[in-house]
Amino acid sequence: MTVAQDQPEALNFECETGNYHTFCPISCVSWLYQKIEDSFFLVIGTKTCGYFLQNAMGVMIFAEPRYAMAELEEGDISAQLNDYSELKRLCLQIKRDRNPSVIVWIGTCTTEIIKMDLEGLAPKLEAEIGIPIVVARANGLDYAFTQGEDTVLAAMAARCPKNVQNSEEKEERNAIQKLLSFGKKKEDVAAEESEYADHPPLVLFGSMPDPVVTQLTLELKKHGIKVSGWLPAKRYTELPILEEGYYVCGVNPFLSRTATTLMRRRKCKLIGAPFPIGPDGTRAWIEKICSVFNIEPKGLEERERQIWESVEDYLQLIRGKSVFFMGDNLLEISQARFLIRCGMTVHEIGIPYMDKRYQGAELALLEKTCKEMGTPIPKIIEKPDNYNQIQRIYELQPDLVITGMAHANPLEARGINTKWSVEFTFAQIHGFTNTRDILELVTRPLRRNSSLKDLGWDKLVKEEAKV
């Protein structure tokens, strides 16, 4: 959709190719198996998928990660072998060797092309081996890089328990609560509960490292908001209870399918907030949650101001400079909004997939930020054509290009500063306290190339590029 020409100050959306140019979504396994400690991920694909996972995730010599490849051979692809018996053999081996609380089957492009009915096989096999099997399609035909996590969390949302009726489950949940409050006096537990306002249950969704989970939970606690649970939890057996009418809120912009599943299937109420990336986004995220629960936030303006002051040394490096997003991990809108607030100009925001409803609050904040900072509203290109983008980069000559790994080295060889978008996916960039970490990543190529110029190496690099 393109906005009418007589509204130049409104957000302008375009779609170029209809293709995804991103990292493969099965890479979500790399952070999800570490987050869900009692899980096992089985990626069902070809040797190419196996090579990709080895290269993308590194070869862990001294650790035995909780994921494996089920490699499809010619016999599988020509339907000469029985899918059910082969998967049963592998899952029994996983149960014997690792005994996880859940096995997650990750479907790939190949399982889509040969029409493997993973959703049909899983319930029967689950009943036979006695371990829950969650099926997630993370193929690169339908999904961009980080949407792999979205498909897994959407599948897990269907497995979240309702209010516990089973006596055994109640005992198990009570045991977990006792463990969490071990060493605390009853008065302390009661006092802790009294710190919270009276509001409906709130569940946050999005895979975050444990320190970030703690930080965001404590930020909300300061305003009397209690987080009832996170999806995913550290353990599959601790998935949050989801009842009709519960409130849910996302922490990442690529979780639109999970949000839809929570609303349609679990009848939860979605809080449409900007995402807690950067101090401006974190403040807006907390303010939106507080407004839904009729709570007056306190001290947020001062908190944001202190964070901006603490990173002024980094802001001086990027203020007045320009940045171009080629598009890879679906964090581009939030990152662009944050960098505009830092004083940068954004030429273009390339993004593989755009859900305007789920990212509505973030888009509104981007527009508001551009107006407040007096900078032009960047054009948003969905599924950009890389060739056209590179021509625009040559023409615009931005100070920094945030791109996927495929284009970083070729652009660097032509004298353009780049930063891998994948690094923002794996870094801790959420919340007030991680602002310095984002700016460290953004400014690193600028600082590096500035140092090279001081040494006179930039001329040598350009001469070698010509050769």
Q: Where does the pLDDT of residue 341 fall: very low under 50, low under 70, confident under 90, or very high at 90 and above?
A: very high
Strands 67-71 and 12-15: unpaired
Q: What is the CATH number of domain 25-143?
A: 3.40.50.1980
Residue 155 pLDDT greater than 90, yes or no: yes
* Mean pLDDT within 32-57: 87
User: Mean pLDDT over residues 49-75, rounded?
Assistant: 73
Q: How far apart are CA 223 and CA 117, in angstroms?
A: 47
Closest by CA position to 201, among listed 176, 169, 231, 178: 231
Name the nearest CA neighbour of 330 among 382, 401, 270.
382
**Cα 52 to Cα 43, 105, 131, 135, 141, distances in angstroms:** 11, 17, 28, 20, 16
Domain 25-143 and domain 185-292, same fold? Reply is: yes
Q: 12 phi and psi, to 5 degrees?
A: -120, 115
- Mean of pLDDT over the chain: 85
| Cβ-Cβ contacts under 8 Å for 110 (sequence gap 6 or more) | 44, 45, 46, 49, 72, 77
* pLDDT at residue 318 is higher than 90: yes
Q: According to DSSP H, which parts of 18-132 are helical?
A: 29-35, 47-57, 74-77, 83-97, 109-113, 118-129
Provide Rg for the chain, Cα atoms: 24
> Domain-by-domain residue ranges, the chain?
25-143, 185-292, 300-466
For residues 421 and 428, the answer to whether their CB atoms sit within 8 Å is no
Ranking 18-32, 35-49, 255-269 by mean pLDDT, the lowest is: 18-32
Amino acid at site 457: W
Residue 7 pLDDT: 37
Residue 124 has pLDDT above 80, yes or no: yes
Q: What is the pLDDT of residue 366?
A: 96
Q: What does the pLDDT look like over 401-444, one tens digit per residue? A: 999 888 888 998 888 999 999 899 888 999 999 999 999 999 99
The answer to whether 117 and 79 have CB atoms below 8 angstroms apart is: no
CA 84 to chain centre: 32
Is the pTM of the predicted complex or chain greater than 0.95?
Answer: no
Tell whether the model's pLDDT for residue 292 goes beyond 60. Answer: yes
The second-level CATH assignment, the architecture, of 185-292 is 3-Layer(aba) Sandwich (3.40)
Residue 79 CA: distances (Å) to CA of 74, 106, 107, 123? 8, 19, 17, 21
Fold that domain 300-466 belongs to in CATH: Rossmann fold (3.40.50)
